[in-house]
């Protein structure tokens, strides 16, 4: 019989493979789904007010491969993405590919998105944990007040408020734009994006921490005379974090979605801007590219969260 | 003798006292709910917002489409909130009455929230209860499907849908309804799984009650608590989703409006000094969300008094 640790490791690998087995079809389904959606949309990409001559239209369709049967178009599209990471040409900007358009905005989104995510998790967990430890004190009420208030301030509400306060009245921060080298451009996007998720994380953390602090193993730890801070750091924090970890997946999706608002409001030029511009231009190729990329990121992130969860929680069945 | 007669009287009273009225689960929950100050506060907010949405138009001096030409072009100077010209909340950028528009925005936002939540209740409950009750492979397939659908960045797909198939309020309802039931079905399934193991379900099955009847008569009534709480908390999320889309200009189209669209308009014009165009829609938006969150939390505490 193999030792328990290898046994556990093997089961962990099976678990990861199982999650992968779900992740890959999900992604393919997303690609096929968005392709069919685009295909079924009324009006082709070259529909204009002035009708194009038939020959021109035929040539255009041939150039973009739209004259081929549907299954072949889908296959070419998937193959392009999988084999060459190529999302094809833009339908509106004749000289640009979807890859170029995405590559331009992606680093920006990743930067402020990543910072926002870290801020939301750190601030939320701290706020929630402190509130639970100081349950029913003024600190607790203060933390709960903040998290309730922040919950009704989604990014599209925070953004104008921040601009009014910090740009129009105080004049401390630039009202928009983006520079990688100047963090003063980062502050408002990050606050706008992270506030409401920080609040949700704090609420989840507080209630799970309260539950853990009332559980038997904490009572035992206290009874054997461990100092309070050690009880919290060594015994309470880890189990209390589990519900927070399972919230990270949805929070990540919501933040990526929120980047659309941030890009519009602060003109940060991220991937959300590419998405909205393409939506307004009916540049389906770019819209699909962004949707698929975001979907892939989401799936990857959920996979990561599942693995972390399985690693932390000894009770989980693989 | 005096003492005796008093004794007799109290004895008579005691024997004639009616049976103690038992408190049902729901009466208990109601009592807990009404003791919760935050929940009452939320309820008051919701009543206020609903009254505003229903009767606001009777108070408004202007319709939401009329343009007040006396302030048009000078909105920043003369379009502010005033009782004198009947624009209680001021006017919007075009000179339309913001009070009437806020009333309409609140109506639309509430409708989207409630209808989206209602779709989630119907579809999510049936789906989740079916998957949970039958279990095994059916459950596996049904829930994997939900997993897959949840992994799709729905906001992007929704925007894709709205752009490709035209921006209409029906499309918005369809889109919001399509996604809202997923989480609900997960929660209902989990609850059904625990209910399924109870003795009375086993008994029903033993005497040959068919599965649909067991689900309808024995499972669904026991799900009401969970579903109510989650549906209440879903309403503000639906409102947030709708506002997000309307903020992008892809949701409700002119001349109709929603709170998200009004916030978008208001935040676009703040640099002209017309703060009220943001403040009033934002106020009602925040009040509505607060109301639903507080009532939802209160309901949860009332129906699930586990660790309080």
Q: What is the pLDDT of residues B125-156, one digit of tens each?
A: 999 999 988 888 888 888 888 877 777 777 77
User: pLDDT at position A134, please?
Assistant: 86
Q: Nearest CA to A178 among A248, A75, A236, A109?
A: A109
Domain assignment of residue A79, yes or no = no
Name the nearest CA neighbour of A107 among A273, A280, A251: A273
In terms of CA atoms, which chain A residue is nearest residue B157? A291
Q: How close, in Å, is residue B153 to chain A by CA atoms?
A: 6
Instruction: Give the total number of structural domains in chain A.
Output: 1
Nearest residue in A to B279, CA atom: A161
Using CA atoms, how far residue A254 sits from A154, A173, B254, in Å, is 10, 25, 27
Cα B300 to chain center, whole Å? Answer: 14
Give the residues of chain A that fall short of pLDDT 70: 1-5, 8, 41-51, 313-318
The residue of A44, A45, A102, A157 whose CB has the most chain B CBs within 10 angstroms, and thus the best one to mutate to test that interface, is A157
Residue B177: pLDDT band by 50, 70, 90 thresholds?
confident
What is the third-level CATH fold of B32-72+87-303? MetI-like fold (1.10.3720)
Determine, yes or no, domain membership for A56.
no
The token pair that represents A129 in the structure block? 């944990």
| Per-residue pLDDT at B44 | 93
Q: What are the residues whose beta carbons fall under 8 Å from the beta carbon of B290, sequence distance 6 or more?
A: A148, A152, B42, B45
Does the residue A48 lie in any domain? no
Distance CA B241, CA B153 (A): 13
Q: How much is the pLDDT for B307? A: 44
> According to the model, what pLDDT value does residue B207 have?
93
Closest chain B CA to residue A253:
B153
Is residue A119, in this structure, part of any structural domain at all?
yes
Tokens of B195: 């209910």
> Is the CB of B141 inside 8 Å of chain A's CB atoms?
no
Structure tokens given for B248: 């992008």
* A227 within a domain of the structure (yes/no): yes
Classify residue A201: in a domain, yes or no: yes
- pTM here is 0.78
Selection from A151, A54, A120, A105 nearest residue A260 by Cα:
A105
Name chain B contacts of A288, Cβ cutoff 8 Å. Answer: 160
What CATH code is carried by the domain that includes residue A127? Answer: 1.10.3720.10
Reference A270, options A130, A24, A103; nearest CA is: A103
**Cα atoms in the 13 Å half-sphere on the side-chain side of A21:** 7
Res. B160 pLDDT band, cuts 50 70 90:
confident
| Chain-chain contact of B289 with A151 (C-beta, under 8 angstroms) | yes
Domain extent listing, chain B: 32-72+87-303
Q: Which domain holds residue A141?
A: 106-281
Alpha-carbon distance A260 to A159, whole Å?
Answer: 12
**A19 inside domain:** no
* pLDDT level of residue B308 (50, 70, 90 thresholds): very low
In this complex, do B159 and A275 lie within 8 Å of one another by their Cβ atoms? yes
HSE-CB for B110 with a 13 A CA cutoff: 20
How large is the average pLDDT for residues B10-23? 67
DSSP-based helix, strand, coil % in chain B, nearest 5: 75, 0, 25
- Residue A74 and residue A68: Cα distance in Å, rounded? 10
What is the mean predicted confidence (pLDDT) over B243-269? 81
The number of C-beta contacts closer than 8 angstroms across A and B is: 112
For A110, residues 6+ apart whose C-beta sits below 8 A from its C-beta are none
Residues of B in contact with A23 (CB under 8 A): 151
Q: Which of A259, A245, A253 is nearest to A110 (CA)?
A: A259
Residue (of A296, A247, A292, A300) closest to A16 by Cα position: A300
Contact B267 A265 (CB under 8 A): yes
Cα(A261)–Cα(A128) distance, integer angstroms? 27
Chain B: residue whose CA lies nearest to A249:
B151
For residue A132 the two structure tokens come to 């639970």
**Residue B306 confidence (pLDDT):** 54
Separation CA B33–CA B25 (nearest Å): 12
Residue B256 backbone class (left: φ over 0; alpha: ψ -120 to 50; beta: rest): beta
Q: What is the pLDDT of residue B260?
A: 84
How far away is chain B from the Cα of A19, in angstroms, using its nearest Cα?
Answer: 11
CB contact A276 to B (< 8 Å):
yes
> Is the distance from CB of A228 to CB of A132 less than 8 angstroms?
no
Nearest C-alpha of chain B: how many angstroms from A179?
23
* Residue of chain B nearest A264, judged by CA positions: B248
Q: Is residue A297 part of a domain?
A: no
B165 touches chain A (CB under 8 A): yes
The shortest C-alpha distance from B104 to chain A (Å) reads: 19
Q: What is the pLDDT of residues B41-87, one digit of tens each?
A: 989 999 998 998 888 888 777 777 777 777 666 666 666 777 777 77
């Amino acid at each position: 019989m193999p030792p328990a640790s290898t046994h556990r490791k093997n089961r962990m690998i099976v678990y990861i493979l199982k999650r992968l087995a779900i992740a890959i079809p999900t992604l393919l389904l997303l690609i096929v789904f968005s392709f069919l959606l685009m295909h079924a949309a009324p009006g082709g990409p070259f529909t204009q007010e002035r009708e194009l001559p038939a020959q021109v239209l035929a040539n255009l369709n041939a150039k973009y491969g739209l004259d081929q049967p549907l299954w072949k178009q889908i296959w070419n599209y998937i193959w392009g993405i999988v084999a060459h990471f190529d999302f094809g040409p833009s339908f509106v900007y004749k000289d640009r590919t979807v890859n170029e358009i995405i590559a331009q905005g992606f680093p920006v989104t990743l930067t402020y998105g990543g910072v926002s995510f870290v801020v939301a998790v750190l601030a939320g967990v701290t706020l929630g944990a402190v509130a639970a430890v100081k349950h029913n004190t003024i600190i607790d009420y203060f933390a709960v007040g903040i998290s309730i208030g922040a919950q009704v301030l989604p990014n599209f509400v925070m953004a104008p408020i921040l601009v009014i306060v910090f740009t129009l009245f105080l004049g401390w921060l630039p009202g928009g734009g983006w520079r990688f080298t100047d963090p003063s451009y980062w502050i408002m996007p990050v606050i706008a994006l992270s506030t409401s998720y920080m609040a949700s994380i704090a609420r989840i953390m507080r209630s799970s921490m309260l539950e853990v602090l009332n559980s038997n193993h904490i009572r035992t730890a206290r009874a054997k005379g461990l100092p309070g801070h050690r009880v919290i750091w060594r015994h309470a924090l880890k189990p209390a974090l589990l519900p927070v970890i399972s919230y990270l997946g949805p929070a990540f999706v919501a933040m990526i979605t929120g980047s659309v608002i941030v890009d519009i409001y602060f003109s940060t030029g991220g991937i959300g801007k590419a998405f909205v511009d393409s939506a307004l231009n009916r540049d389906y190729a770019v819209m699909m590219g962004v949707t698929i990329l975001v979907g892939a990121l989401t799936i990857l992130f959920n996979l990561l969260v599942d693995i972390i969860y399985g690693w932390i929680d000894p009770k989980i069945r693989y | 003798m005096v003492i005796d007669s008093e004794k007799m009287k109290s004895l008579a009273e005691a024997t004639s006292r009616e049976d103690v009225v038992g408190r049902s689960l729901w009466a208990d929950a109601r009592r807990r709910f009404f003791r919760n100050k935050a929940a009452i506060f939320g309820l008051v907010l919701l009543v206020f917002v609903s009254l505003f949405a229903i009767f606001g138009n009777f108070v408004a001096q202007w319709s939401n489409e009329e343009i007040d030409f006396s302030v048009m072009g000078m909105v920043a100077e003369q379009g502010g909130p005033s009782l004198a010209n009947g624009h209680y909340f001021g006017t919007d950028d075009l000179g339309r009455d913001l009070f009437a528009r806020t009333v309409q925005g609140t109506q639309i936002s509430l409708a989207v929230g409630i209808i989206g939540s209602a779709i989630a209740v119907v579809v999510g409950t049936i789906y989740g209860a079916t998957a949970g009750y039958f279990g095994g492979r059916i459950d596996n397939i049904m829930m994997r499907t939900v997993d897959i659908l949840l992994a799709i960045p729905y906001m992007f797909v929704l925007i894709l849908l709205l752009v490709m198939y035209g921006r209409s309020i029906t499309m918005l309802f369809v889109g919001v309804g399509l996604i809202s039931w997923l989480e609900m079905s997960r929660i209902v399934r989990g609850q059904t799984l625990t209910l399924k193991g109870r003795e009375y379900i086993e008994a029903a099955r033993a005497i040959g009650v068919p599965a649909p009847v067991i689900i309808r008569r024995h499972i669904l009534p026991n799900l009401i608590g969970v579903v109510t709480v989650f549906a209440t908390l879903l309403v503000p999320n639906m409102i947030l989703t709708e506002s997000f889309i309307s903020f992008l200009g892809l949701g409700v189209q002119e001349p109709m409006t929603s709170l998200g669209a009004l916030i978008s308009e208001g935040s676009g014009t703040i640099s002209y000094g017309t703060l009220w165009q943001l403040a009033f829609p934002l106020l009602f938006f925040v009040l509505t969300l607060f109301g639903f969150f507080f009532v939802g939390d209160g309901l949860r505490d009332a129906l699930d008094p586990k660790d309080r």
